[in-house]
Amino acid sequence: MAIDLARFHQAFFEEGFERVDAMEQGLLQLEGGANNAETVNDIFRAAHSIKGGAATFGFTAVAEFTHHVETLLDSIRNGSRGVDDALVSLLLRSSDQVRALLTAARDGGQADAELSARLQHELQQALHPDSSDADSAIPVPDEVSHAVAGSQAAPGEAGWRIRFAPHADLFASGNDPLRIFGALAELGRLDVVARHPGDLPGFSSLDPVQCLTAWDLVLHGSSSLDSVREMFAWVEDECDLQIEPLRAATVAEPSAKVVPIHAPAAAASAAPASAATAPANAAKSRAHADSSIRVSTDKIDGLINLVGELVITQASLTQYTQGLDPLVHERLLAAVQQLEHTARLLQESVMSTRMLPIDSVFSRFPRMVHDLAARLDKQVKLQTIGEGTELDKSVIERIGDPLTHLVRNCIDHGIESPQDRSAAGKPAHGTLTLTAAHQGGQIVIEVIDDGRGLSRSRIIAKARSNGLAISDNASDAEVFNLIFAPGFSTASEVTDVSGRGVGMDVVRRNIEQLGGEVELKSVEGSGTTVRIRLPLTLAIIDGMFIDVGGETFVVPLNGVIESLQPLPEQIKRVAGQGMVLKVRDEYMPMISAHDLYRVPGAAKPPHQAIAVVLEAEGCKLALLVDELIGQQQAVIKSLEAHYRRVFGVAGATILGDGRVALIVDVTEVVRNCGRALAA
């Protein structure tokens, strides 16, 4: 039976990358010379595991390189080598290379072999600072020679005579002489003669689990000495063993004469030492031994779909039973209510399986901050708060880039050089804080630095030079809001970190696309805080259900500012360009949902319709609809799974009666329809 190892590759790579991340995180904790034994052990284990898996699944380059990393880590672990920042840096670079090698192995590409060799050299130098390369060469892993040893040894032509006298406690190691004989018999014809010692204890004092028998074995055939010894490898230390060629004279190999192996009491002395440390280890780490299983997101999404269905069915049941007489149908109505309750709980708990701690995003920053600060000659301390805060996988996947951007900005522009900080009476190292917390069904993430803060006057000057009108009396919020305008940057120097036009507009757009919002607070000289609010999930939205010519649409509530019935004098028609709505002192473009979605039939006159004011990316747009139906949660489903993208439509949901309703893509509608008119 041949088993194709390729079927395990995906799992290997998944965990390989996880382990490299773990190595990296552990290494960053070691920075500053803190040699925490547990951390070192974790890093070692991660490297060890990558090496073992890579060797098993045939990724030799990964296995070989990681072996060198592991060897160095082992020397740190057993205390024969200390840790300093240079070593941590080397190990960080090496873990990058492990990642590169893994990536190359996964994608069938090539990693930089020269870099591997160079790092390997450095690793060896770090291990044996005094030695040259030659004598620090890592021995070929024993197992390789092991596997071929059997075929290399000269065969004993006629067989072997084996004297096998197990120690009395052989059984206590789970070994059984009979199994060994069975295995030997597969090598050739085996004669077995049992010998009993003369001093057998009396029957009453006989211990049945002691092995008091010895055996004389004769193995016929041409099997090699190594293959015979291999059979006894596990019991070498628990027996007296002699193997000699059946006809010694005919065998030339000198080593094949007699192989006496006797176990000293080493076993007994080794045990207590390791036993002492073990229980402490186990107890300590049991705290984070939360057992978990890996489930593919497809399965979870399948579950979410089914629960969504259930909730819809339950909603229609509730609807159908609404008109029933509560006196006559008391029990039915109670059951429907119970169903509603259970369905909601079920939905919540299924949704929670997609929730991941934000740590999976935060964890990328220690390394990034470390590297960036080093490159810019700044000192930055990163602290994270609330990294256990959970949010939906879909949000996690898309929050990384905007956050990365903000963190880069902070280090690049926010935090000053150590000299400037000292001159300003601040500690030389700046502090960057990332926080996450749940707040009223949303997650709030803050990126806080204690750097130079935003300069109001510089922003105003820059805005004016960009042709933006801003009054000197504008509020701080209004001024800081300019940062989010496209192409706006106040950095007086362009650095290679954030580049030109820092792109806070992109950050804001990304976050708004996730249905979130971003705001900024800053005090010049003492720092900046960027606060991001996000929905916990993208799978369910709070929706405003609207009617357009008998068709139902859903507008995500977080894109809706207000809705109103416009008076005729609020509506202005701009020749050839459409309508404008005046709300209080503000003018905004207005379009009819009938036109937008090409709904058949005539639209109501605007002043009889309802205007829903939408906002995205700082722009407003009024959407004329026939009626508001109500507010409700909606499970978002993709159109693209089985159809194509449709302009102005973010997805679809299923109504209580089983029909499909389209969800308005507020950002897309505002951006395209609003701008067309404004231009």
Partner 1 sequence: MKPQEIKQNPREYLSFTLGDEEYGIDILAVQEIRGYDAVTRVPDAPEYIKGLVNLRGTIAPVVDLRIRFKLGNAEYDHLTVMIVLNIGGRIVGIVVDSVCDVVPLLPEQIAPAPEFGASFDSSYLQGLANVNDRMLILMDIDKLLHSAELALYAPAESQDLPQMMAAA
Partner 2 sequence: MSNRILAVDDSTSMRQMVTFTLSSAGFDVTEAEDGVVALSLARKQKFDLVLADVNMPNMDGLTLVRELRGLSEYKFTPLLMLTTESTPEKKLEGKAAGATGWMVKPFVPEQLISTIKRVIG
The listed partner (partner 2, partner 1, none) that binds 381, CB under 5 to 8 Å by sort, is: none
Q: What is the dihedral of CA 179, 184, 190, 191, to 10 degrees?
A: -50
For 99-256, where are the E strands, in sequence order?
Answer: 159-166, 190-195, 214-220, 239-245
Residue 584, Ramachandran bin (φ over 0: left; ψ between -120 and 50: alpha; else beta): left
- Residue among 539, 545, 522 nearest 655 (CA): 545
Cβ closer to partner 1: 217 or 662?
662
Three-state SS for 426-477 is CCCCEEEEEEEEEECCEEEEEEEECCCCCCHHHHHHHHHHCCCCCCCCCCHH
Residue 534, interface with partner 1 (CB under 8 A)? no
Residues 545-564, mask of contacts with partner 1 (x by CB under 8 A): ------x-------------
Site for partner 1 in 366-395 (CB under 8 A): 392, 394
Residue 335, Ramachandran bin (φ over 0: left; ψ between -120 and 50: alpha; else beta): alpha
Residue 662, interface with partner 1 (CB under 8 A)? yes
Residue 76's contacts (CB-CB under 8 Å, 6 or more residues apart) are 35, 40, 44, 82, 83, 87
| Count of C-beta atoms within a 10 Å radius of residue 330 | 11
> Cα(first)–Cα(last) distance of the chain, in Å?
71
> Cα separations (Å) of 60 from 55, 71, 324, 365?
6, 16, 72, 31
The listed partner (partner 1, partner 2, none) that binds 238, CB under 5 to 8 Å by sort, is: partner 2
The listed partner (partner 1, partner 2, none) that binds 539, CB under 5 to 8 Å by sort, is: partner 1
Q: What is d(CA 331, CA 321) in angstroms, rounded to the nearest whole number?
A: 12
Three-state SS for 558-584 is HHEEEEECCCHHHEEEECCCEEEEEEC
- Residue among 177, 170, 264, 265 nearest 210 (CA): 170
Q: What is d(CA 85, CA 375) in angstroms, rounded to the nearest whole number?
A: 15
Binding partner 2 by CB under 8 A: which of 33, 182, 427, 658?
A: 182
Q: What is d(CA 464, CA 458) in angstroms, rounded to the nearest whole number?
A: 10
The listed partner (partner 1, partner 2, none) that binds 135, CB under 5 to 8 Å by sort, is: none
Binding partner 2 by CB under 8 A: which of 24, 42, 412, 449?
A: 42
- Residue among 321, 311, 161 nearest 246 (CA): 161
Question: H or E element: which one contains 127?
Answer: helix 113-127
Q: What is d(CA 191, CA 72) in angstroms, rounded to the nearest whole number?
A: 49
Q: What is d(CA 254, CA 153) in angstroms, rounded to the nearest whole number?
A: 11
Q: Are strands 660-664 and 551-556 parallel, antiparallel or unpaired?
A: parallel
The listed partner (partner 1, partner 2, none) that binds 551, CB under 5 to 8 Å by sort, is: partner 1
Binding partner 1 by CB under 8 A: which of 638, 675, 676, 678?
A: 638
Q: What is d(CA 651, CA 483) in angstroms, rounded to the nearest whole number?
A: 31
Cβ closer to partner 1: 72 or 673?
673
The listed partner (partner 2, partner 1, none) that binds 150, CB under 5 to 8 Å by sort, is: none
Residues 188-217, mask of contacts with partner 2 (x by CB under 8 A): ---------------------x--------
Residue 652, interface with partner 1 (CB under 8 A)? yes
Binding partner 2 by CB under 8 A: which of 37, 117, 168, 233?
A: 233
Q: Which amino acid is residue 234, in one-letter code?
A: W
Write out the two tokens for 358: 């934000």
Site for partner 2 in 265-294 (CB under 8 A): 266-268, 270-271, 274-275, 278-279, 281-282, 285-286, 288-289, 291, 294
Cβ closer to partner 2: 300 or 619?
300
Binding partner 1 by CB under 8 A: which of 414, 566, 589, 648?
A: 648
Please choose, out of 157-165, 178-186, 643-651, 663-671, the segment that lies near partner 2 by the rule CB under 8 A.
Answer: 178-186
Binding partner 1 by CB under 8 A: which of 254, 265, 598, 679?
A: 598
Please choose, out of 31-39, 116-124, 440-448, 651-659, the segment that lies near partner 1 by the rule CB under 8 A.
Answer: 651-659
What's the closest the beta carbon of residue 342 comes to partner 1, in angstroms? 19
Contact assessment for residue 112 and residue 100, using Cβ atoms and an 8 Å cutoff = yes
Cβ closer to partner 2: 232 or 365?
232
The listed partner (partner 1, partner 2, none) that binds 345, CB under 5 to 8 Å by sort, is: none
Cβ closer to partner 2: 147 or 328?
147
The listed partner (partner 2, partner 1, none) that binds 641, CB under 5 to 8 Å by sort, is: partner 1
Residue with tokens 């290494």: 27
The listed partner (partner 2, partner 1, none) that binds 651, CB under 5 to 8 Å by sort, is: partner 1
Q: Which amino acid is residue 379, in one-letter code?
A: Q
Cβ closer to partner 1: 264 or 600?
600
Residue 7, interface with partner 2 (CB under 8 A)? yes
For 440, phi then psi, to 5°, come to 50, 55
Residue 627, interface with partner 1 (CB under 8 A)? no
If you compute the radius of gyration of the chain from its CA atoms, what whole number of angstroms results?
Answer: 36
Residue 468, interface with partner 2 (CB under 8 A)? no
What's the closest the beta carbon of residue 288 comes to partner 1, in angstroms? 29
Contact assessment for residue 101 and residue 114, using Cβ atoms and an 8 Å cutoff = no
What's the closest the beta carbon of residue 599 comes to partner 1, in angstroms? 8
Residue 140, interface with partner 2 (CB under 8 A)? no
- For residue 573, what are the β-bridge partners? 579
Please choose, out of 151-159, 260-268, 378-386, 427-435, the segment that lies near partner 2 by the rule CB under 8 A.
Answer: 260-268
Q: What is the dihedral of CA 12, 17, 23, 24, to 10 degrees?
A: 170
Cβ closer to partner 1: 144 or 660?
660
586 alpha carbon, distance to own chain's centre: 45
Please choose, out of 25-33, 179-187, 343-351, 655-663, the segment that lies near partner 2 by the rule CB under 8 A.
Answer: 179-187
Q: What is d(CA 406, CA 589) in angstroms, rounded to the nearest whole number?
A: 32
Biggest alpha carbon–alpha carbon distance for the chain: 119
Q: Which amino acid is residue 142, in one-letter code?
A: D
Cβ closer to partner 1: 489 or 558?
558
Residue 14, interface with partner 2 (CB under 8 A)? yes
User: What is the DSSP code (8-state) at residue 3?
Assistant: -
Q: Are strands 159-166 and 239-245 parallel, antiparallel or unpaired?
A: antiparallel
Residue 1, interface with partner 2 (CB under 8 A)? yes
Residue 329, interface with partner 1 (CB under 8 A)? no
Residue 298, interface with partner 2 (CB under 8 A)? no
Q: Residue 588: how many CA atoms within 13 Å on its side-chain side?
A: 25
Residues 588-607, mask of contacts with partner 2 (x by CB under 8 A): --------------------
Query: Which residues are at the interface with partner 1 (CB under 8 A)?
Result: 301, 304-306, 308-309, 392, 394, 513-515, 537-539, 551, 596-600, 636-652, 654, 657-663, 665, 667-668, 671
Query: Which residues are at the interface with partner 2 (CB under 8 A)?
Result: 1-3, 5, 7-9, 11-12, 14-15, 42, 44-45, 48-49, 51-53, 55-57, 63, 141-143, 146, 171-175, 179, 182-183, 209, 233-234, 237-238, 266-268, 270-271, 274-275, 278-279, 281-282, 285-286, 288-289, 291, 294
